[in-house]
Structure 1
Amino acid sequence: MRLLTIPADANPSFSKLSLSLASTPEEVREVQRLRYKVFIEAMNLSALANPEGLDKDEFDDYCDHLIVRDSKTLSVVGTYRVLSPHGARRMGKFYSEQEFDLSRLDNIRGVIAEAGRACIHPDYRSGGVIMMLWAGLAAYMRKERCEYLMGCASVSLADGGHNAAALYHAFREKNMAPPDYRVAPLLPFPLEDRQTGVEPQIPPLLRGYLRSGAWVCGEPAWDPDFHSADFFLLLPLSKLDSRYARHYLKDSRTA
């Protein structure tokens, strides 16, 4: 299902990007192939390598998959996986519940959409693709009548975890969720014994969430498979930064 087509601002070798929801098993496999290249091959996660060349799990069958294509080559260049409240009920849980205790959010479970597996081809990271994916998320949430967007943002532990710890201490000062929206990691990332005074470096996806008005909902979880510290974020649509609201929600009305 086509959601939106806008001119690309990224690369002069193509003129348009198109946004859609995956509607066939082959389209889902295209998404999984891109995720494999970005998450597994590029990060050299040999433990997750497989002969199919697909990044997939049990949640894929219950999620909707946003796809951004290069309209010139028809290649999938960006994707976001979204789990609606209905999909979570069918699955029996949200993906984040594998890493966090979300019991404090029980009263809003019916109006939460969960986004994850954000993935953009390395040649298309100048801004146009992620803007389109955010527009797609806004359109999706309007369609599903969701009031909150939640998800995890990963921070690499390649530096020994010092940046993850510095980010948490910075977030604790100005980005933390109100107590009623706090969650607890099931496998906490050990924040102690990390260097102090490190200047935190915020990954682009995490920066995008924060600029849009998202809360950080507690300490990060440790994901040993992807060698990352994962921060749980919750974005109330009512808190969406006005600049982003004007841009994304205006675009989503053309869906």
Structure 2
Amino acid sequence: MLSKELLLFENTLKNNRNHAESPSTTTQRRLSISLAFTQQEIEEAQRLRYKVFAEEMGAQLLGTGGLDIDGFDQYCDHLIVRDTDTNQVIGTYRILSPSSANEAGGYYSAAEFDLSRLAHLFDRTVEVGRACVHQNYRNGGTITMLWAGLAKYMQFHNYEYMIGCGSVSMADGGHSAASLYQRLQDDYLSPLEYRVFPRNPLLNDSLRSDMQVACPPLIKGYLRLGAYICGEPAWDPYFNTADMLVMLPLSRINPRYAAHFLK
């Protein structure tokens, strides 16, 4: 994205500042959302990612020095949410635009899925990933700010589709993920023309698919917004998660939320 465009988009965010309340206290925490402009700001996002993914979840990350860094970061725009009282970055999302995906050699999720059936949409599709929130701020307000920022980003650039991986822990060997997919596919599986195929399939006859499993909050939020799940999950050995490709056309955003995110 050109710097002029960054500034214009940043102004749209500044005109839509929000506040969120922590679930652990009645004190109002003031939060702000912006794009990361500097390398220092990007590193703040990468440090939060490392804390959440490596220290909390045990992911095997490539970064060093307490930072989660991979080859896609340099091509992405990074949304960050700050606690304005402490100036701490407490939430982040990275966004890969269509033009940047071309520069990067493709979308991140293409390493996990065959995206051939979505290729005709790539010029209107952004990919999101590395979404995380500091453990002290995991409430509806923080993720809502990130989603609202993403929606405004898509509107600003006239993008129509969002894709990204929704992850389920593999701590139990994959039974929970298989059971969740079995439950969700009846209501949320995409039309055939949007179907993707895992390169490292998770599902096999040894996995249970009848367990009562809670849907992870991020996937649940995407589905409430109107997203599809585009096919069977893939196993990501580095994060030890089962990933389902989620796709959200802006035209499908639930009217209940559209007034808030797309105003």
Q: What TM-score bracket applies, with the shorter chain setting the length?
A: over 0.9
- 1:167·1:202 contact (CA, 8 Å) conserved in 2? yes
Equivalent residue runs for 1:222-233 within 5 Å: 222-233=235-246
| 2:188 is the counterpart of 1:175 | yes
Find the counterpart in structure 2 of residue 253 from structure 1: none
Corresponding residue SS for 2:205: coil
TM-score (norm 1): 0.94
Find the counterpart in structure 2 of residue 6 from structure 1: 18
Find the counterpart in structure 2 of residue 220 from structure 1: 233
Give, in angstroms, the shift of residue 127 of structure 1.
1.2
Correspondence for 2:40 among 21, 26, 50: 26
Matches of 1:15 and 1:203, distance apart in 2:
25
Corresponding residue SS for 1:82: strand
- 1:181·1:217 contact (CA, 8 Å) conserved in 2? yes
Find the counterpart in structure 2 of residue 184 from structure 1: 197
| 2:179 is the counterpart of 1:166 | yes
Correspondence for 2:81 among 47, 68, 83: 68
Equivalent residue runs for 1:76-225 within 5 Å: 76-225=89-238
The amino acid that maps onto 2:38 is T
- 1:214·1:235 contact (CA, 8 Å) conserved in 2? yes
The one-character-per-residue Cα deviations of 1:62-117 (angstroms, maximum 9, x if unpaired) are 00000000000000000000011111111120111111111111111100011111
Find the counterpart in structure 2 of residue 59 from structure 1: 72
Matches of 1:60 and 1:69, distance apart in 2:
19
The amino acid that maps onto 1:230 is D
- 2:80·2:92 contact (CA, 8 Å) conserved in 1? yes
Aligned alpha-carbon RMSD (Å):
1.4
The amino acid that maps onto 1:6 is N
Structure 2, gaps ≥5 residues long: 1-9
Matches of 2:214 and 2:29, distance apart in 1:
33
- Call closer, same or farther: CA 1:49–1:237 in 2, change over 3 Å: closer
Give, in angstroms, the shift of residue 49 of structure 1.
7.2
Matches of 1:133 and 1:75, distance apart in 2:
15
The amino acid that maps onto 1:29 is E
The amino acid that maps onto 1:123 is N
The one-character-per-residue Cα deviations of 1:22-65 (angstroms, maximum 9, x if unpaired) are 000000000000000000011234x4375410001010000000
TM-score (norm 2): 0.91
The amino acid that maps onto 1:232 is L
Corresponding residue SS for 2:262: helix
The amino acid that maps onto 1:201 is A
- Call closer, same or farther: CA 1:192–1:101 in 2, change over 3 Å: same
Matches of 1:142 and 1:22, distance apart in 2:
19
- 2:113·2:197 contact (CA, 8 Å) conserved in 1? yes
The amino acid that maps onto 2:137 is Y
State percent identity of aligned pairs. Answer: 51
How many residues are aligned here? 249
Correspondence for 1:235 among 240, 248, 252: 248
Give, in angstroms, the shift of residue 5 of structure 1.
1.7
Find the counterpart in structure 2 of residue 246 from structure 1: 259
Matches of 1:50 and 1:211, distance apart in 2:
33
Give, in angstroms, the shift of residue 9 of structure 1.
2.0
- 1:14·1:71 contact (CA, 8 Å) conserved in 2? no
